[in-house]
Structure 1
Amino acid sequence: MAPKLMLIDGNSILNRAFYGLKTPVLLSTSDGIYTNAVYGFINILNKFQEEEKPDYICVAFDLKGPTFRHKEFAEYKANRIGMPDELAMQLPIIKEVLDAMNIKQVEIEGFEADDIIGSLARWAEEQGVDTVIITGDRDALQLVTEHTRVKIPTKKDGRTETEEYDYNAVIDRFGVTPTQIIDAKGLMGDKSDNIPGVKGIGDKTAFSLIKDFGSIENLYDNLDKVARDSIREKLEAGKEIAFISKKLATIDTGIRQSWSFDDFTFKPDRIRLRELFKRLEFKSLIEKFNLDDTGKEEKPVKFASVDCIKDSACLEKIRELIMERGCFSLCYLMEKPGIFNHKLIGLGIALDEDRIFYIDILNCISEECFLGIFSDIFENSSIKKYTHDIKDFLVYLKKKDIEFDGLAFDTLVGAYIINPTRDSYNVNELANEYCGVNIESMESLTGKGKNFIPLSQIETGKLSAFAGIQAEAILKISAELDKKIRENNQENLYYDIELPLIFVLAEMEYHGFRIDADGLVEYSKELDDKIAQLISEIYALAGEEFKINSPKQLGAILFDKLGLPAGKKTKTGWSTDAEVLESLEDKHEIVRKILEYRQLMKLKSTYAEGLLNVIDIKTGKVHSSFNQSVTATGRISSTEPNLQNIPIKLDAGRKIRKVFIPTNEDYVLVDADYSQIELRVLAHISNDENMIEAFMRNEDIHADTASKVFDVPREAVTPLLRSRAKAVNFGIVYGIGDFSLAKDLGITRKEARRYIDGYLNKYRGVKQYMDNAVEEGKKNGFVTTLFGRRRYLPELMSKNFNIRSFGQRIAMNTPIQGSAADIIKIAMVKVYNALKEKKMKSRLILQVHDELIIEAHNEEKDQVIDILKDCMENAVKLKVPLCVDVHWGKNWYETK
């Protein structure tokens, strides 16, 4: 095999990394240095380095200043917006990282990174070296040869994917050779680089012409052979600009300098790289690059040896030691081959730093023996347990009719309370951060991707060492996290809300929600019929059949054929995303039908088909995983399946709730929903007299707002005014500005601004709260909920207006949304405890935003309704009452 050179377009990949986040929340260090682009760049580099295993690497960067193309065409790239400050400050950092990695960087005055890459690729080919180019720019496809490939990292449905092009792939995708792409660009231009092209010639026509004629030169030599008069006329008028555009689009491959492949070898300076990653607070990268012990002069941390327990006699002795000690930490090793299936592999237990054990359940001690000896340990509330992410283990024990008690601390939840925006909460990362020790990660033990090894196939010695050391680390981390929680005055949030909530979520996962599978199949068929009807109607309105799911073909129908006002254009054609289509909804009937088609297709794939795939065969239920350490606001999320986003706006979406049913006919569903909880929290926090008065009088808050903001008597408030007031009320909660409100209501920004100003003028307490929240965020670096939950806000110090504005919105709405999330959690714990204390058959099975659903036994329905109202309405004492609406039915649909 030939040696391989990997060339990276530095500016392109840095931009890709910077804009990779869908929200303007930027990763930054504790002292406010933005690092999201650097972090993303390193991960992209590492990904392709592992995939390609190159012999040589080089990164090319653009230099500021004009290039030879600007001399050819003064308007070249004139439409480009300057690099935002938050990205510009990261450019020297990534160069410093590359220096530490000993990766060669090349910049040449008067040339772009594309030209450097193109020239290096040709030079390498001349030397018998193959090349792979990593870029976010499809311009590089013209460089593809039999010895040069191009890889383009992309995002699809939130996932990172890679487009890979060799010589044949380019032809398959575009119908032309790589060098002919230059000719096509000469005709169609490139909006992103301000290359004009021939006016009126789109990409489809351009590629077709070059496919037929081979090149621009041959096309113009045979212009009389172009069949369509309109195209020939456009080509004649644009001849000069076509040749200029081709020249601008051509990457220079002729640069030659005194390059040597010795310059492109790479061997990282591990000590320098570790210190740099420490400064940038890239703990996960320190682990990924195995830099944990690099440059450390101190002796490695010594852990006590782990005793592997292989028989019942030894297990009995461990039980006695635990009873005597009164506390222990545990690390469970478990495989989950299915949604609701658990296979216990082993258990690491630490009594203290000298007594660490591993119970080998996979090979030596049966589950029955282990649980027979340890069940009373797990159920004994006086024996304190220290754990990490204990929820799955609680579900496992519930299946064995064992009720876990005595949970003293869970390090996953504790670390989340301290910092809710961490990337991960793995034990090894927490051990490094809070205890200054380096231990093996789960990923290091099992491998990942193609190299993943199930726990059941790993040798016992490795499992024993891993689980035992993790258990000891959990004991140490717990003490440090408890200290930090108390320093932050967050002990009530942790010990009274979050820790008890683990048991509630485990109970919900264990019981699950039954699905009417036959009804789901029938629902899917109904969707098929509606989708087929919509497709027929869309074709009729378009006047032809086309691929509705193809943005390219859809764009051609909407903007080229039907002549709708065009929106954004990307390199692959017109944008047809939801934002664009929603803005055109009133322009043509086809747009509304396409939006409805997309909604129905999502319902079918995500819910009609998706739910069928996750129904547990044994229980006939979906057992969703409820996550309490994911969202920055403190809200609970759910996965596999996500039951938080069951759609309710479309009638077809609401009907999906009909398939959610009780376990059997002995039960009904009772649904309790907080009424306007976030607005009630806002009234409490802002202490606004008008808002408090409206809630105390139990008035329609939206009608009251409409009366005040639009200055009309209450009886004159129309449904339209109420609807607009409702949008303003919730817009204030979510921190939207005049632009978003105008878009939501279909009014001008000026009118939206007038609504917001009118609102803040009438609700002066709210205006004062908003100002104070932003100032608190700037002063402290964070804002808090009523219960002490923190949200850190480095965005408030950004020089970028959009990012700073985002930080201000978060500062204003986090105390509201976060407090509402805390209140529903408090209510969940109260409801769970009430059902348990009364030994009722009914059980809490789902939480969705501000509502709780209980599967209530028929004999207990009325009592359950009373419990829900009492626990939820009295969860906390606010300046305004908390109100709850309760309904029941034989399925979820009937409860609304």
Structure 2
Amino acid sequence: MNNKIMILDGNSLLFRAFYAMPPLKTKKGQYTNAVYGFLSMLYKLIDTYSPDYICTAFDPEKPTFRHEQYKDYKAGRAKAPNELVEQFKLIRDVLEVHNIKCIEINGFEADDVAGTIACEAEKKGAEVYLVTSDKDYLQLISENIKVLLTKKGVTNIKEMDEQAISDDYGISPTQFVDLKALMGDQSDNIPGVMGVGEKTALKLIQQYGSLDCIYDNIEEIKGKLKEKLEGDKIQAYMSQTLARIIKDIPIEFDLEEFRLIEPDANKLIVLYDELEFRNFKKRVKEIPEIQNDSQMSMFDSVSDGEEKKLGINNISTSEDLTYVDNKEDIAQIILKVKNSKKVAVKFLLDGERALYSNAVCLGISDCKGSIFYIDFNEVEEKFVLESLKEIFESKDIIKIGHGIKSEVIYLMKKSIFIENIGFDSEIGKYLLDPSESSYSIDKLAYEYLKVENSTENEYLGTGKKRLSFKEVEQGKSKEYLFNYLNTVVKLEEKMCLEIQEFNMTNLFQKIELPLIEVLAYMEYEGFKVDLEILNKLGVHFAEKISSLEEKIYILAGEKFNINSPKQLSVILFEKLGLTVIKKTKTGISTNAEVLEKLKSEHEIVSYILEYRQMVKLNSTYVEGLKSVTDINTNRVHSIFNQTIASTGRISSTEPNLQNIPTRTDEGRELRKAFVTEDGYVLCDADYSQIELRVLAHLADETNLIESFKNGVDIHTKTASEVFKVKIEDVTYEMRSRAKAVNFGIVYGISDYGLSRDLDIPRKESKVYIENYLSYYKNIEKYMKDIVEQGKKEGYVETYFGRRRYIPELSSRNFNIRSFGERIALNTPVQGTAADIIKAAMVNVYNRLKNNKMKSKLILQVHDELIIETHLSELEEVKKILKEEMENVVNDFKVHLDADVNVGGSWYEAK
């Protein structure tokens, strides 16, 4: 018999998987990361080695014979985290569904079970593979027994045979026990010979062959090594016994009970649904027929033969796909949509961004069963859009979609303005789980409708992806749009109920959904850039870079590549002998944090930091902005992302206008290039210390509230309390440090973090924080309460009810848990500030729109709004900004102050 048997070391692999994977958790709170990693290994092993038989050995819960022989065996080993412990039963259940037998024998460890089965299977002619992360198994290797040793991660596996043992250690598998006898094993608390490490132990085994021969020839060994060996002889032989795997424990088994058979598809699907293992469902060969229409697959294909005119026959679901190829049919669409009062819409574009793309086709659903597919090769796009304009602009007809901002922008190009956006599944899911990395339509279809995308990588995706022209020609656009709209319609009810259950309906309807139009408008309008100013800045930066290069070369005594960390490291640490602050895997670190600490050691460091800053300003901002400026309008059109930041903040990309530098004079110069059209000025309004005002309200901190009410400078007041001096004696440095404490508290900073930021001793930073909290006592109470609430509820909320789940708070790992505590402290404050600016944006935009003003809201940067203001409307715009920004909330204990400035450029207005 030449069959293959694979024996898994259950405990070892589950531990490996747990620490290799992030802390995955189901919605019900079940940790699954270890099981997920275990299955990843299992599937790779099965795919790679195709075993005929498979089983898993586990350690028993009770002590084994080794504990009886040596009471300190495995003593000191940290207790397994609860997050892992709860997965030991779960992995057995998972393996049972896979028809993989689990074996556990009281009094013996998993390696004894595995060793016994391996040797018996070998006698029967089987080829054996032992899978583990435990090197003790290497002693079991023989001609027909191999060890698959898991390395870093979960799928990195090294196959070990007799030759590999010889290559790696220079010994045979049978000598491995004696190696452990000498060097011991720290993880199992096997003592070995004190002071003898792996290197010395290997030399002894290679020279003498075995532990017995070493002691038979002990007189040949000289010096301290001989003393160590003689002094710990008893300990060495005890360690040998502890390290030896038992190969003949009393166990009876029939190899056939380990036969690898296909698991039951139905049970497997139920299991994966419970564990939320979406990707593993793709391995299931037979997916049962789903009768419930609400669970109908988003990915059911629509063949050409099933495309019917105006609602003739159903297509594998209750919906009709109407293939529109003439103008007369458009009237039918309008009639159906008007009757339903709701429309789901999706354009298929030939590019990534709606602003720069053309539509290939359009999909429309009346949300009651009919889906229309309009190919713009068949029916002229201009006619279609003109005909449907009344639908899109009707305030009585609800519009729904997924990432519908793309449709809003595309229609804006056509002078059509979508009204009454009532649902967006991408935004809805972001609200429900702001920490997700993706909100793709196929992911939501799986999660809410329990359907799987078998051809995801071919053409279905996030809604931000596009079909290639080849795929469109192959007819996939029809299937794509049918599935897309079908899914959006089915998601609406489910997601809205969940949002309602979490008390976020008001946040969704009053802030997030209206914001879609605002962001689309800002993206569509863009911000004008003066390329002449930008080019002059580029010349200035280039000259500065060249001058800095010469200074650096002179101080270094030679020319080198300043941008090469390796070459820079040689100059700084080998040639100039500066202090090594930090080492990485690739060498000595030369990052900004390190260089800041080295500035006092040599003047070259300051020049290098300035050089890097100039290079970034020139490449990222000058050249970067020039590359994305529309050559026809000289305007940059940033993408405003609503679903990126977990705190609820809006982000900006391509280009990132929120990241234009402000800390240096040269960085601020870049804002001079952002200008207006003739007849306009920029009106720039930003909140004054909004996060501290939010903190004062949430914590109900009287001292902070009173300071704001009385117009006291908060940082000066904090400095007087932190440094225990009168307000008039507060210095500039004291105020600066107090400012760092104020904002550090908002972000959950630790004494270590503050000491690093201020470059002061940790002990000193600890005193600053203690003094701060002793004065602002309610803030200290709030900080404790919000963390406890997060631990109890599993999430924290903003003033507007935005939730953020924080599974890190329940971690046993100190660093992960501390990270979770910082999130718990930061989210309500920063998230509330983000909600406030979003609400203000919506209100300001609506005032401008409803008053039919020429002025345009064009940018938001954290707590700042910028309006390109027509000169004739300047006073009204200033009034609108003040009113809407300061009156977003009416029950705050602290008034929200907005400062408004005006200028011909961003630089002047700021």
CA displacement 1:776-827 (0-9 Å, x = unmatched): 3344333221111112233333444444443333333222111101000011
Judge conservation of contact 1:538–1:593 (CA < 8 Å) in 2. no
Tell me what 1:285 maps to: 279
Tell me what 1:275 maps to: 270
Judge conservation of contact 1:8–1:60 (CA < 8 Å) in 2. yes
Helix, strand or coil at the partner of 2:382: helix
User: Are 1:332 and 2:347 an aligned pair?
Assistant: yes
User: Are 1:713 and 2:726 an aligned pair?
Assistant: yes
Tell me what 1:564 maps to: 580
CA displacement 1:214-249 (0-9 Å, x = unmatched): x999xx9xxxxxxxxxxxxxxx999999xxxxxxxx
Judge conservation of contact 1:661–1:669 (CA < 8 Å) in 2. no
Q: Please report how far the alpha carbon of residue 41 of structure 1 lies from its aligned counterpart in structure 2 after TM superposition.
A: 6.5
Judge conservation of contact 1:670–1:886 (CA < 8 Å) in 2. yes
Helix, strand or coil at the partner of 1:33: coil
One-letter amino acid of the counterpart of residue 734, structure 2: L
Judge conservation of contact 1:56–1:264 (CA < 8 Å) in 2. yes
Q: Please report how far the alpha carbon of residue 447 of structure 1 lies from its aligned counterpart in structure 2 after TM superposition.
A: 5.9
CA displacement 1:406-450 (0-9 Å, x = unmatched): 22222222232233234433344445544x46375883661689x
Tell me what 1:202 maps to: none
One-letter amino acid of the counterpart of residue 564, structure 1: V
Pairs within 5 Å for 1:292-371: 293-294=287-288, 301=296, 302-337=317-352, 340-361=355-376, 363-371=377-385
CA distance in 2, matches of 1:589, 1:181: 46
Larger radius of gyration: 2
CA distance in 2, matches of 1:591, 1:136: 50
Tell me what 1:750 maps to: 763
Tell me what 1:873 maps to: 886
Tell me what 2:415 maps to: 401
CA distance in 2, matches of 1:655, 1:165: 54
CA distance in 2, matches of 1:358, 1:882: 49
Name the CA shift for 1:294/1:697 in 2 (closer, same or farther; >3 Å): same
Normalised by the length of structure 2, the TM-score is: 0.72
CA displacement 1:103-128 (0-9 Å, x = unmatched): 89999999999xx99xx9xx99xx9x
Helix, strand or coil at the partner of 2:565: coil
CA distance in 1, matches of 2:467, 2:447: 27
Aligned counterpart for 1:391 among listed residues 381, 401, 405: 405
CA displacement 1:346-394 (0-9 Å, x = unmatched): 3332224432222223x42232122121122111112222222100111
Judge conservation of contact 1:520–1:612 (CA < 8 Å) in 2. no
CA distance in 1, matches of 2:318, 2:7: 44
Aligned counterpart for 1:839 among listed residues 852, 867, 878: 852
Judge conservation of contact 2:426–2:439 (CA < 8 Å) in 1. yes
Q: Please report how far the alpha carbon of residue 859 of structure 1 lies from its aligned counterpart in structure 2 after TM superposition.
A: 4.7
Judge conservation of contact 2:354–2:407 (CA < 8 Å) in 1. no
Percent identical pairs in the alignment equals 37
Pairs within 5 Å for 1:445-484: 446=459, 454=468, 457-458=471-472, 462-484=476-498
Q: Please report how far the alpha carbon of residue 667 of structure 1 lies from its aligned counterpart in structure 2 after TM superposition.
A: 4.1
CA distance in 2, matches of 1:843, 1:36: 48
Aligned counterpart for 2:502 among listed residues 450, 468, 488: 488
CA distance in 2, matches of 1:809, 1:630: 19
Name the CA shift for 1:758/1:697 in 2 (closer, same or farther; >3 Å): same
Name the CA shift for 1:834/1:53 in 2 (closer, same or farther; >3 Å): farther
Pairs within 5 Å for 1:406-445: 406-434=420-448, 436=449, 438=451, 443=456
Pairs within 5 Å for 1:442-841: 443=456, 446=459, 454=468, 457-458=471-472, 462-515=476-529, 516=531, 518=535, 519-520=537-538, 523=541, 526-527=544-545, 530=548, 534=552, 537=555, 547-549=564-566, 557=573, 562=578, 564=580, 572=585, 574=587, 576=589, 578=591, 581=594, 584-585=597-598, 588-589=601-602, 592=605, 596=609, 599-600=612-613, 603=616, 607-608=620-621, 611=624, 615-619=628-632, 620-652=634-666, 654-655=667-668, 657-658=670-671, 660-662=673-675, 664-841=677-854
Judge conservation of contact 2:5–2:53 (CA < 8 Å) in 1. yes
Q: Please report how far the alpha carbon of residue 702 of structure 1 lies from its aligned counterpart in structure 2 after TM superposition.
A: 0.9
Q: Please report how far the alpha carbon of residue 154 of structure 1 lies from its aligned counterpart in structure 2 after TM superposition.
A: 9.5
CA distance in 2, matches of 1:274, 1:523: 60
Name the CA shift for 1:337/1:636 in 2 (closer, same or farther; >3 Å): closer
Tell me what 1:212 maps to: none
Q: Please report how far the alpha carbon of residue 710 of structure 1 lies from its aligned counterpart in structure 2 after TM superposition.
A: 2.6
- Larger mean CA deviation between 667-676 and 49-58 belongs to 49-58
CA displacement 1:493-548 (0-9 Å, x = unmatched): 11111111001110111122344363557646754664675476467699x99952
CA distance in 1, matches of 2:694, 2:406: 33
Tell me what 2:210 maps to: none
Tell me what 2:314 maps to: none
Judge conservation of contact 1:584–1:591 (CA < 8 Å) in 2. no
CA distance in 2, matches of 1:694, 1:847: 28
CA displacement 1:325-359 (0-9 Å, x = unmatched): 33222233334245842232333322244322222
Judge conservation of contact 1:345–1:360 (CA < 8 Å) in 2. yes
Name the CA shift for 1:523/1:591 in 2 (closer, same or farther; >3 Å): closer
Tell me what 2:393 maps to: 379
Judge conservation of contact 1:539–1:546 (CA < 8 Å) in 2. no
User: Are 1:887 and 2:864 an aligned pair?
Assistant: no
CA RMSD of aligned residues (A): 6.3
- Larger mean CA deviation between 762-771 and 611-620 belongs to 611-620
CA distance in 2, matches of 1:27, 1:416: 18
Helix, strand or coil at the partner of 1:336: coil
The count of aligned residue pairs is 839
Structure 2 unaligned blocks of 5 or more: 64-72, 171-178, 180-185, 190-198, 208-222, 230-243, 297-316
Helix, strand or coil at the partner of 1:681: helix
CA distance in 2, matches of 1:163, 1:378: 53
Pairs within 5 Å for 1:48-59: none
Normalised by the length of structure 1, the TM-score is: 0.73
CA distance in 1, matches of 2:839, 2:804: 19
User: Are 1:30 and 2:46 an aligned pair?
Assistant: no
Judge conservation of contact 2:337–2:366 (CA < 8 Å) in 1. yes
CA displacement 1:847-886 (0-9 Å, x = unmatched): 2211122333455445433432332222223221212233
CA distance in 2, matches of 1:765, 1:343: 56
Q: Please report how far the alpha carbon of residue 44 of structure 1 lies from its aligned counterpart in structure 2 after TM superposition.
A: 8.3
Q: Please report how far the alpha carbon of residue 741 of structure 1 lies from its aligned counterpart in structure 2 after TM superposition.
A: 2.2
CA distance in 1, matches of 2:558, 2:685: 45
Judge conservation of contact 2:7–2:55 (CA < 8 Å) in 1. yes
CA displacement 1:462-487 (0-9 Å, x = unmatched): 43344234323323322333333333
CA distance in 1, matches of 2:845, 2:53: 58
Q: Please report how far the alpha carbon of residue 405 of structure 1 lies from its aligned counterpart in structure 2 after TM superposition.
A: 1.0
CA distance in 2, matches of 1:615, 1:273: 49
Q: Please report how far the alpha carbon of residue 714 of structure 1 lies from its aligned counterpart in structure 2 after TM superposition.
A: 0.5
One-letter amino acid of the counterpart of residue 476, structure 1: K
Name the CA shift for 1:855/1:745 in 2 (closer, same or farther; >3 Å): same
Tell me what 1:170 maps to: none
